[in-house]
Structure 1
């Protein structure tokens, strides 16, 4: 199959509501795969009648990352994954997606990828030297913000890896037809603060081909996102953002802005000011059940990286799961084979700044990073990138084009499920499988989307409030249909079918702020997500049959 790389050497801005050529190619190739799958399921149809089906993975930290993996694997087990055209994620779900799409044929080896994920997430390896090196390098950019600090400390600590790859490198995996086409969600914080989550102007999307403002139909090739533009012309090309940075951007607002501010400030001042006070949670600020019952993990440093790993307490020790009292200048972790303090003998009991190699230049780099991070905290600067629409005369938006930079953050602060992105009319989505992994009541995103669609005249099925009367004890599947609108199937992660009488307890136990999951808990999460698919596979199949039959009948009439 042809691989589309037209934009690679151009860097041109595109003002159009049309899908990118790369997405058209990817979905065209995928449609052939979907047809084969439907034929094998006893749903024969013409290529023109193949329905576009989208999976939406909600945000929810590691809980969402793990659960989405289980969802996809169960769909594959029942031969339903190959019916999916789009895979769209918010926050923690994007972490799962970004890991999968590093593999061109990930849909065919989910079991092996699950084993790899379990092995990585169930041990805690966090390298101070690696994180510091990434931060020092990032701080050289004039647009350095708290997103870099968050990405290379907290998100790195949660995912247990730094990914220096790039989103544009996922083009092959998204074009070959073997996998659903991926869409990653973010929101423009400035627009969001002015027009709220109910305006398309707030929403921003990333695909392997383009980065785009949803509300303006304006896009730039992914490898040029962050480069300097003026009046639609490329002025200075910059290196493409790494996946680790994007993972930090996509997952940069778990919860409210106020809560996130507290988390970042606690981690920042604990990291750099060597605070020694205990940050053990009190019963007033930590839900009962999170602290007890989770033994402290054993530190297992990465092979070849014994010189600096961060000792981490179980979730609940501090916001984000880190034990800030252990983040002193002299680290207290002592991996096997390393000297006391976790560093080589000549660095024992030295502060972080003393461990920086390279002399004066490195000290200058560290001072720069310290100053910029502090400034970011004081001004609450997040997700700062060059605005590729800066002074772009082709766009009729005086407010947006006047800003030289934009601020992108986690879409979960708006709607914790990226319905707005798959509801683009150009994507022609007929069935949406919405998997809710979030920390809020399981119908919140659904209700927000209904309001979003009503205010923007977007077809969406009516949400019957009578069906949503038990948010604390929901069912495992809700189906909403409407004339001229896509059918929506909504699946709350924890429900009275897969964990009867324990819904609230499991929501607390598997809180999104956990930064470490033991194998047993990963298994429980995967099983919960799988049950939501296996218990409703016949319903999913029935909806697909109905949509194909309706489409065929409408075309022939």
Structure 2
């Protein structure tokens, strides 16, 4: 019956389709930040108005397009109610008030994640700022909406990169669906609900209580909105917003909050100097601090500046500001939020999208391909925005198992896609 309706819709638009030969159609949406989110909604609205959306089997997105997709599947039959969905999301994006307090409260809740990275902070700051909502539901919650036969099946794209200081080199495509996540090549997948769990040799050795939520995934899928300098400027601005609001840092009396704020400001100044390429000794010199006093190091000639800063951050959590050159606060008097410390650490190492590798030491994966051998050795994955590799997720819909006949690709990039 579905095939008959699909033939009728395509025939009405001049596409001749024989019985039993209905094409499998995939729609692709590119990246492009909030512009891509809005454009993807408009594209789906136009397909629905033309009675073509019901002919689509797969819906795959990159970066900003995934932000639109991941909100649609909260409704069981969104594809037959696009006008209302677009209206609701327009109101959410344009009218809903954003607050730093909401971001901080959310970050405090997820701050104990052992794989905390800049992806968490990006989701709670930039994605929230763009979309007007911190989406705490889970991708697996969309299983029914994805497989009820009414909506296209969603495929969200990412790539796996090797973490390096201030850079990423990308290599392997990674896909997310409500049912499973993994690598099309070499063909390694795990249940979406188990993605956050720790595996060794194919056996689950640590079960996490909470599946990573959609705000985190939106941050992961959409983490390449700008170059590294622009990303750093955004993160720095958000951290300064926290530092400038001492009431978010402590419930202590006002005088003690000032100590906490002062300490946080010093931390941010050091981070800024290090980010500009200067070493740790230069940072301390500019701030009139003595590294030996602060770090308790006697021999630091051949140590890395990142290691020094790690020591400094550790001391920031415990040492009191004294009359000499110290700039710290007593943890009993003032509590610098651990989330600020974790975020600074993530900035120093430029850590994005860290997740336990479910294929770690799994011999089945090692035998699949050279890439499988590589995955076999890696304890962690570093998943980032596909836009860093390609702004269109065609490799995911062209998997042989999906038998896609027709791809409708929509490019929402700022520049000319043909140049």
* TM-score normalised by the chain length of structure 2: 0.73
Alignment-derived partner of residue 247 in structure 1: 218
Is the Cα–Cα contact under 8 Å of residues 62 and 158 in structure 2 kept in the other structure?
yes
Alignment-derived partner of residue 211 in structure 1: 181
CA 1:244 to 1:220, structure 2 compared with 1: closer, same or farther past 3 Å?
same
Q: 5+ residue gaps in structure 2?
A: 262-330, 367-371
Q: 1:340-355 alignment to 2 at 5 Å?
A: none
Identify which of 131, 150, 166 aligns with 2:103.
131
| Residue aligned with 2:364, SS | coil
Identify which of 397, 406, 410 aligns with 1:431.
406
Identify which of 391, 399, 410 aligns with 2:385.
410
Which sits farther off after the overlay, 219-228 or 253-262? 253-262
Paired with 1:82 and 1:229, the residues of 2 have a C-alpha distance of 39
Structure 1 position 86, deviation (Å):
0.7
Matched, 1:103 2:75: yes
Aligned pairs, number: 333
CA 1:35 to 1:387, structure 2 compared with 1: closer, same or farther past 3 Å?
farther
| Residue aligned with 2:95, SS | coil
Q: 1:130-149 alignment to 2 at 5 Å?
A: 130-149=102-121
Structure 1 position 50, deviation (Å):
1.9
Is the Cα–Cα contact under 8 Å of residues 35 and 45 in structure 1 kept in the other structure?
no
Q: 5+ residue gaps in structure 1?
A: 1-31, 275-327, 332-345, 355-359, 444-470, 472-557
Alignment-derived partner of residue 234 in structure 1: 204
Alignment-derived partner of residue 360 in structure 2: 390
Paired with 1:191 and 1:384, the residues of 2 have a C-alpha distance of 9
Is the Cα–Cα contact under 8 Å of residues 145 and 381 in structure 1 kept in the other structure?
yes
Paired with 1:80 and 1:352, the residues of 2 have a C-alpha distance of 61
| Residue aligned with 1:56, SS | strand
Alignment-derived partner of residue 46 in structure 1: 19
Paired with 2:415 and 2:358, the residues of 1 have a C-alpha distance of 34
Paired with 2:163 and 2:93, the residues of 1 have a C-alpha distance of 35
Alignment-derived partner of residue 56 in structure 1: 28
Alignment-derived partner of residue 422 in structure 1: 397
CA 1:120 to 1:427, structure 2 compared with 1: closer, same or farther past 3 Å?
same
Paired with 1:361 and 1:215, the residues of 2 have a C-alpha distance of 51
| Residue aligned with 2:162, SS | helix
Structure 1 position 398, deviation (Å):
3.3
CA 1:35 to 1:96, structure 2 compared with 1: closer, same or farther past 3 Å?
farther
CA 1:123 to 1:86, structure 2 compared with 1: closer, same or farther past 3 Å?
same
Identify which of 171, 190, 200 aligns with 1:220.
190
Post-superposition CA distance 1:191-232 (Å, at most 9, x none): 9999966xxx52100001101112210000000001110000
Is the Cα–Cα contact under 8 Å of residues 59 and 154 in structure 2 kept in the other structure?
yes
CA 1:196 to 1:441, structure 2 compared with 1: closer, same or farther past 3 Å?
farther
